[in-house]
Each structure stands twice: as C-alpha cells, then as structure tokens.
Structure 1
Amino acid sequence: MPAALAVLMAGLLAFHRAVPNSVGRVGSLLETFLPWLGLALVVLFGWALLRRSATALVALLLPAAAWTHHFGGLLLPGEESGPHDLVVVQHNVSDENTDPAGTARALADAGPDLIALQELVPPALAVYERTLAPHYPYHAVRGTVGLWSRHPLTGARLLDIRPRGITEPWSRGLRAAVHTPHGEVAAYVAHLPSVRVGTSGLASSLRDESAGLLGKALAAEPLKKVILLGDLNGTVDDRGLAPLTSRMNVARRGFAFSFPAALPVARIDQVMARSATVAHLRALPSTGSDHLPVAARVTLG
C-alpha cells in the first residue's frame, strides 16, 4: 500500500495538469496545496519504515524526486544582491484593518522601492497616504488598489479586470509607469476575485475570468520591463492563473505563504515580472490584515 500511494503521489506532482478541472475545479484545488504533498511524503516514509518495506522506500524516491524538482529551488537561499535591484512589497491590507498607520509603518520599515496595496477603503486610505508620504512621495490609487513609489510615476490609469458576472462598482486594477534609476518599468497592481472552497469544489470562475483580462492587458503592455503585484487569490501552480504565469516570471526562491495570516498555507499574494527576475520572495511579519505582506527583490539587469 505505501508503495502504491508513493507512485500515485509522484504522478500527482509530475502530472498535476492532467487532473481534470471540469468538475469542481479539482485540478486547481490540488494545485493550490501542491507543496503540502511533501508532508504526505514524510508520513509515507514513516509508514514504510514501520512496515520495513524496502519496496515502499524505493518507491518513495519517485515522489521525492518530483517534489524536489518542482519545489526544491524555493528552499535555496537567495542571493544577497544583484544588478539593478528593486525591492517591492505586496500586501492586501484588509478593509477591516484597525491599525492602518501601524501597517503602513511596518511596510515602509522593509525599505522597499514600491509598495502595492489592496482593499483600500476610506477613511483608512487617508491614513496610508499620510503615513507613507514622507518616504514615498509618489503614489496612485484607483478604486481599492494603490501603488506607492520612491521613484516618479506617470501614466497611472484604471485597469478594467472586472468579470462580466460582477455588476456592482468594482475597481481593482491599476497600471503606472515607474521611472527607476535603471529605466522605465510598467507596474501593475491587481486584486482578483476571491475563490471559495465548498462541497461542490473550488468556485473560481470569476477569478479565472479576471486573470484572463489581466493577462490580455499584460500582453498588450508596450514597455519591455513589467512588474505585477497583487492579491491574485491563487498560487502560481494553479492553472487558473495560467494567463499570467505563462507571460511572467515567478519567484525563484522562497515559499512566502501569505494566507491566512494566522496559519499561512498558501501564497496567494504574488510578485511576477517580465524581462526581469523575481530573485527572492519572503513573507513579512503579520499586520492588522488577514494576509501577510510579501517582499521581493526584483532584478532588472
């Protein structure tokens, strides 16, 4: 039995795209928690030892190799520096955050060049603007998302990523050009619709539609270098984000699980880049939000 389960686990890790998404989006649900199959590997290893099964122990080499191939690089330490680095922070600050000033100070303490925020609502928005202004003189807000920068911003505009199924006012995307010392970079900030896990599976159709709209906008972006920061309500393995991950580079180092803040099990807050490298991603300490902030070093060279 352990040997058979080991082979099954290896198949899920190596061929997770083959798991169908037609019913309950089971494939996306698996991909959301794919790294945690490593824990099942540990359990199977203990079971194989208890049974003294040499066959099972040999079979476990298959899922171990598949997991290491897929996720092992994320465990490696990131380089301390690289050419033309930008440090960026992404955070869904929560519209129920009772300490926006403390949250803003905590994000600024990480020393980023760019800070992207979601769920900005009055009167907390004014607090973020006031608290971040001394170190981030340039900012743009559209709807409930915003971008703060040490470097000048131009061309800030609303990004329409609202799915057809949402009829109420809904503004969760913006695009701006950041004039860095290393050239002009297009910065996108997005907050995709939430997903829900229920008895019928994963409800992600609105998120997937919004990701498709965002992917089309990224494909049409004329600037070569692009950074995407957002609460994308999905992991980079989730095929629902394929319109984005097929066009953008994702983090090479760091798991940085960001949600829920009390017990993070998945990274749904993402930093991606085009014609640039997300060299390392890490989670920052908890704020007053139900998400953890994530900080990334993006190499433009």
Structure 2
Amino acid sequence: MRTIAALHALLTVVMLVLWLAVGDTPWTALANLATFWWTVPALGLMLVALLRRDGRALALFAVPGLLWLWAYGSAFTGGPVEAAADLRVANFNTFVHAEGEQHVLDLVEETDPDVLVLQEVFPPRQQALELALAGDLPYHHVEQSPGVGGVGVWSRHPITDVRLVDEASQVSRTTFVVTIDVDGRPLQVVPAHLISPCPTCGASILERLELEGDVRRAEIGNALAALSPGTPVVVAGDLNSNERSVAYRRLTAAGFRDPQREVGEGMGFTWPADRRVPALVRIDWILVRDLDPVAAWVDEARGSDHRPVVVDLAFPTQEG
C-alpha cells in the first residue's frame, strides 16, 4: 500500500511542478482533463490507511487528496442563493448527428430560458428553430462554419448589436458578440465552440494537443478583445476544455465567474451524455462577468452527446 501511496504522491508532485513551471502544454493537457479522476481515489485510500493505522501511507495519500480538496472541494459546498434572478441562460451543443430539433425544443419548454446559446446548428436545424422559437425567443443570430455547423443565440429580448470575433486560425469556428437589451440593461453574449480534438490537425497526438492549446488560447483572446468594457457578459458554449485549461483560466483571470462552482451542486460534468455512460468531464460552460450567479445546474441528457447547462443570473444592484 505504501508503494501505491508513494507513486500517487509522486505523480501529484510532478504535475504540480509542471503546472507551476510550464502551465498548460501538450504534456499536461490530458492530465489536466482527468485531474478529478486521478486525484479522487486518494480520499478513499486515506480512509483505508487511517483504519489500518498506517501513518506513512496516510501522509502520502494526503498529497493527491489535498489537491482534490483544493481543486474540487468547493464544488460540493455551493448551492442556489436566495435572490431574485433577472434572466435565465441555457447552453446546449445540439450534436451534429442528432435527428431534428425536438431535443432543443424540449429543453426550451422545460427550462424556459431568456437566452439560449447553441452549437452545431446546421442550416436545416437553424431554419426549423427559427420557426419553432419565433414566439418564445423571437430574436436570434447564427453564424455558420463549414463542416461543423453554426453557433447561435436566441433571445426573448431584442438583439441590438452584433460584432464578429476575429478568427484565430483556419480551423477556428466563427463566433460573435451580440448585445441584448434586457429591459433597458445591455448584456453581451458570446457563443463559443472552441476547436475540438482534431485527428487531421497534426501528425501526432502531441502536435494536435499543442495546436489545440495555442488555438484555444487565441480564440479566447480574440473574444475578450471584442467585448465592450463595462457591460455585463455571458460566455457560453462547448469549450472542449476543463477548469485546468488555459481557456478557462484566461477567462477567470479576466474577471469571469463560474456559476456552477459558486451556486451549482457537484462537478457539473457534461460529456459524454449517453445515458449508458455517466458524464465524466465538464467541457460545456457558462461563465459570466459583472453579473451575479443565483443558480446553476446541468440538465438531463436529451438527444445529444453533451448535456445542457442552465444558469439563473442577476444584474448587480446599482448603488448611489
């Protein structure tokens, strides 16, 4: 048992050194994505070591155990707050291989969002949704990217401005910033679908991971550059990255908050959404700036390989 504990502790120390020394690289990307899963066993093993009164094994297992508590412990201490919400935002990767659009309409009917952000919306699905949602979410904007479908925003409130975001690379998906008038208060929304793991984007897995990391970094940078300062923002989408990624950390460094972490319950895993396999990673996010999270949850699987994400938000109270 002490050998296992020593190896687990050594792996953790190596990863911490890599994170501090080189950050998000092709060598750490896969470990970043799976950090929850290679650290969480330490909690149970700490209990076993305690019951066996093996102090050395307990101390060694505490290294990954404490990393898990530091990185993920807060995900299990949050929950909705008692406050009035001004709007509800739902995000959903609608899945290229899903048939029709009924799974999207079911989500809208059951969650009643004020703003709906979608990915993998191919033209036939776009046209069907424009007709079906004309009553509930009459304002919309969609930008298509060849081969991967479009990203779109549907809104209960008027869209007053649309700005395209500069494309970060030839493999990036087109996106934009819409400004929505929410009862006289402007809100910016960015629908994001960052580059996916791409078998044709490099000769080896490390080259692909390096490209994807560089491109996602640039994609987030371009989106941030397109924002108007001082106006509340929602960034929502399939980010193909988790909380250890440079994309997530760049957004949080720019002042974005994570409603799932603050007012959600649990890890909020979103992929894969096949009912026979539990979701294992969280790659679909809604992050906000200059807005207060009230509630957040991952909705049930429905017709896609991703689960939808829903948040309730409030505009900050104006003082003075």
Change (3 A) 1:243 1:183: same
Q: Secondary structure at the match of 2:121?
A: coil
Contact 2:81 2:294 (C-alpha < 8 Å) held by counterparts: no
Alignment match, 2:283: 268
Alignment match, 2:161: 155
Contact 1:28 1:240 (C-alpha < 8 Å) held by counterparts: no
The amino acid across from 2:92 in the alignment is H
Among 244, 253, 258, the residue aligned to 1:250: 258
CA distance in 2, matches of 1:11, 1:277: 36
Q: Secondary structure at the match of 1:244?
A: helix
Change (3 A) 1:161 1:269: farther
Contact 1:142 1:171 (C-alpha < 8 Å) held by counterparts: no
Displacement of 1:88 in angstroms is 0.9
Contact 2:220 2:247 (C-alpha < 8 Å) held by counterparts: no
CA distance in 1, matches of 2:188, 2:151: 16
Alignment match, 2:239: 232
Displacement of 1:175 in angstroms is 1.1
Q: Secondary structure at the match of 2:219?
A: helix
Count, aligned residues: 296
Contact 1:101 1:131 (C-alpha < 8 Å) held by counterparts: no
Q: Deviations over 1:130-161 (max 9, x none)?
A: 22222112111121111011111111233233
Displacement of 1:283 in angstroms is 1.3
1:1-301 correspondence to structure 2 within 5 Å: 1-8=3-10, 10-11=12-13, 17-18=19-20, 20=22, 25-42=26-43, 44-45=45-46, 48=49, 52-82=53-83, 84-143=85-144, 144-164=150-170, 166=171, 171-181=173-183, 183-195=185-197, 200-201=205-206, 203-204=208-209, 205-206=211-212, 208-224=214-230, 225-247=232-254, 248-251=256-259, 252=262, 253-254=264-265, 255-262=267-274, 263=277, 264-301=279-316
Displacement of 1:229 in angstroms is 0.7
The amino acid across from 1:126 in the alignment is Q
More deviation, 284-293/237-246:
237-246
The amino acid across from 1:268 in the alignment is I
Displacement of 1:115 in angstroms is 0.6
Q: Once the two structures are aligned, what percentage of the paired residues are identical?
A: 26
More deviation, 129-138/81-90:
81-90
The amino acid across from 2:113 in the alignment is P
More deviation, 225-234/174-183:
174-183
The amino acid across from 1:91 in the alignment is F
CA distance in 2, matches of 1:178, 1:159: 17
More deviation, 267-276/75-84:
75-84
CA distance in 1, matches of 2:299, 2:207: 28
Over the aligned positions, Cα root-mean-square deviation in angstroms equals: 2.9
Alignment match, 2:147: none
CA distance in 2, matches of 1:211, 1:297: 27
Displacement of 1:245 in angstroms is 3.3
Q: Secondary structure at the match of 2:169?
A: coil
Displacement of 1:223 in angstroms is 4.0
Contact 2:82 2:294 (C-alpha < 8 Å) held by counterparts: no
Q: Secondary structure at the match of 1:48?
A: helix
The amino acid across from 1:261 in the alignment is A
Contact 1:101 1:128 (C-alpha < 8 Å) held by counterparts: no
CA distance in 2, matches of 1:202, 1:286: 33
Q: Deviations over 1:169-226 (max 9, x none)?
A: x753121101113721111111111025997447331453244233233144224211
| Structure 1: segments with no counterpart, 5+ residues | none
Q: Secondary structure at the match of 1:72?
A: helix
CA distance in 2, matches of 1:79, 1:258: 19
CA distance in 2, matches of 1:48, 1:79: 36
TM-score, with structure 2 as normaliser: 0.80
The amino acid across from 1:249 in the alignment is R
Displacement of 1:69 in angstroms is 2.0
Contact 1:6 1:44 (C-alpha < 8 Å) held by counterparts: no
